[in-house]
């Protein structure tokens, strides 16, 4: 039977239909429920997590699915205002939610994973997930609110204090955002990345904020170490670099098992070190991130490596997966 297509009820979208199958096409507009709202997407950043799901899928990812969890956009009822979308959707009533740790809610549903995300002209989000973007922060920077919020969460979990010396493994987007969040707390920061070319891309920024990345002295000790890379050896080498009483924050999940876990635990014991985790972000972290974007955004433009159209996204997934650059941001020009 011939079915007439009604384009008013459709939007352009990038739909993940299978491994490495990202199809550009029309998708029916979903109807928001009472507690939800339709957001016209202004920009969406492509994160390495998206690229990993494109390459390998995920046990809990049901396809077809529209990816994209770093998103900002507009709503009809508030013309001229821009909102970042907190990608979480928590129950609001469990003990984690009630204690302000909504990122750990067992009922968590993530936009761009459990529900359709921002690689489309429109997405449906819970009203309570919208966080207004301050004036002066444009859409291409506002998409950094989510990764920045995760970095701020890591800095909170690490209890970074004024004058702490902080070492960050990994000088990608998250490494840089961790550095900004730490500096904002008055800490001094050093970074390590095995890829010299990648480090060079942030040279101007690091010089301005006096971030040492010139192979920090192996003897130098730090109060706080965070990993913004999945390489497992950062755990052991990071723990060795901690000053007595120092703290290691597992910010990125490890891609493998560290070689000598026994040594790591002995170090924790003898020098009273602490190991903390950091996972995702809360709405308060998103608000804090947008505040810091107002303050530091003028120096963070380099994190948006390239603005692309939605239909160009499939072609950059391989590059994003390689993790050698900063953010590729999909911009929707008619917004």
Q: Smallest gap, in angstroms, from Cβ of residue 46 to Zn ion?
A: 9
For the range 53-60, what are the long-range contacts, defined as Cβ-Cβ under 8 Å and sequence gap of 24 or more?
53/16, 53/113, 54/16, 54/19, 54/20, 54/22, 54/317, 54/321, 55/19, 55/20, 55/317, 55/321, 56/19, 57/18, 57/19, 58/113, 60/113, 60/114
Does 16 contact Zn ion by CB under 5 A?
Answer: no
Q: Smallest gap, in angstroms, from Cβ of residue 332 to Zn ion?
A: 19
Does 90 contact Zn ion by CB under 5 A?
Answer: yes
Q: Smallest gap, in angstroms, from Cβ of residue 278 to Zn ion?
A: 14
For Zn ion, give the closer residue by CB, 95 or 260: 95
Q: Smallest gap, in angstroms, from Cβ of residue 110 to Zn ion?
A: 10
Q: Which of residues 43-82 bind Zn ion (CB under 5 A)?
A: 47, 49
Cα separation, 309 vs 81, in Å, equals: 22
Q: Cα separations (Å) of 231 from 169, 227, 248?
A: 9, 9, 15
For Zn ion, give the closer residue by CB, 190 or 290: 290
Q: Cα separations (Å) of 318 from 51, 147, 248?
A: 7, 20, 31
For Zn ion, give the closer residue by CB, 146 or 164: 146
Q: Smallest gap, in angstroms, from Cβ of residue 23 to Zn ion?
A: 21
Q: Cα separations (Å) of 316 from 52, 72, 141, 225, 302?
A: 13, 20, 19, 31, 18
For Zn ion, give the closer residue by CB, 148 or 222: 148
Does 85 contact Zn ion by CB under 5 A?
Answer: no
Count residues binding Zn ion (CB under 5 A): 7
Q: Which of residues 21-50 bind Zn ion (CB under 5 A)?
A: 47, 49
Cα–Cα–Cα angle for 10, 15, 19, nearest 5°? 165
Does 239 contact Zn ion by CB under 5 A?
Answer: no
For Zn ion, give the closer residue by CB, 109 or 240: 109
Q: Write the DSSP string, 72-90.
A: EEE-TTSTT--EEE-----
Q: Smallest gap, in angstroms, from Cβ of residue 72 to Zn ion?
A: 13
Q: Smallest gap, in angstroms, from Cβ of residue 299 to Zn ion?
A: 21
Q: Cα separations (Å) of 309 from 42, 147, 326, 331, 332?
A: 11, 21, 17, 6, 7
Q: Smallest gap, in angstroms, from Cβ of residue 219 to Zn ion?
A: 35
For Zn ion, give the closer residue by CB, 58 or 161: 58
For Zn ion, give the closer residue by CB, 172 or 238: 172
Cα separation, 302 vs 311, in Å, equals: 23
For Zn ion, give the closer residue by CB, 165 or 327: 327
Q: Which of residues 93-112 bind Zn ion (CB under 5 A)?
A: 94, 97, 105
Does 91 contact Zn ion by CB under 5 A?
Answer: yes
Tell the burial category of 234 from Cβ atoms under 10 Å away from its Cβ (0-12, 13-18, 19+).
Answer: buried
Residues 6+ apart with CB under 8 A from 1: none
Task: Point out which residues bind Zn ion (CB under 5 A).
Answer: 47, 49, 90-91, 94, 97, 105
């Amino acid at each position: 039977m011939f079915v007439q297509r009604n384009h008013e009820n459709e939007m352009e979208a990038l739909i993940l239909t299978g491994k490495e199958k990202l199809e550009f096409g029309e998708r029916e507009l979903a109807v928001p429920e009472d507690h939800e709202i339709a957001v016209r997407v202004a920009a969406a950043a492509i994160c390495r997590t998206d690229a990993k799901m494109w390459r390998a899928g995920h046990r809990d990812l049901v396809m077809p699915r529209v990816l994209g969890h770093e998103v900002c956009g507009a709503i009809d009822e508030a013309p001229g205002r821009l909102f970042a979308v907190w990608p979480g959707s928590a129950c609001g009533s469990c003990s984690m939610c009630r204690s302000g740790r909504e990122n750990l809610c067992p009922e968590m549903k993530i936009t761009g994973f459990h529900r359709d995300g921002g690689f489309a002209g429109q997405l449906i989000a819970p009203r309570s997930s919208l966080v207004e973007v301050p004036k002066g922060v444009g859409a291409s920077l506002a998409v950094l609110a989510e990764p920045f919020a995760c970095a701020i969460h890591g800095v909170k979990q690490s209890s970074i204090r004024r004058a702490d010396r902080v070492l960050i493994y990994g000088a990608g987007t998250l490494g840089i955002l961790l550095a900004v969040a730490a500096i904002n707390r008055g800490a001094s920061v050093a970074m390590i990345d095995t890829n010299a070319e990648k480090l060079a891309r942030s040279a101007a920024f690091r010089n301005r904020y006096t971030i040492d990345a010139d192979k920090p002295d192996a003897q130098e000790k730090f109060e706080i170490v965070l990993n913004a890379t999945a390489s497992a050896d950062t755990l052991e080498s990071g723990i060795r670099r901690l000053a007595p009483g120092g703290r290691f924050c597992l910010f990125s999940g490890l891609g493998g098992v560290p070689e000598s876990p026994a040594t790591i635990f002995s170090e924790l014991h003898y020098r009273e070190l602490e190991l903390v985790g950091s996972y995702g972000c809360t709405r308060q972290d998103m608000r804090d991130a947008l505040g810091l974007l107002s303050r530091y955004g003028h120096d963070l433009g380099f994190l948006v490596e390239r603005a692309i159209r939605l239909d160009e996204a499939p072609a950059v997934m391989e590059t994003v997966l390689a993790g050698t650059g900063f953010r590729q941001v999909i911009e929707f020009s008619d917004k």
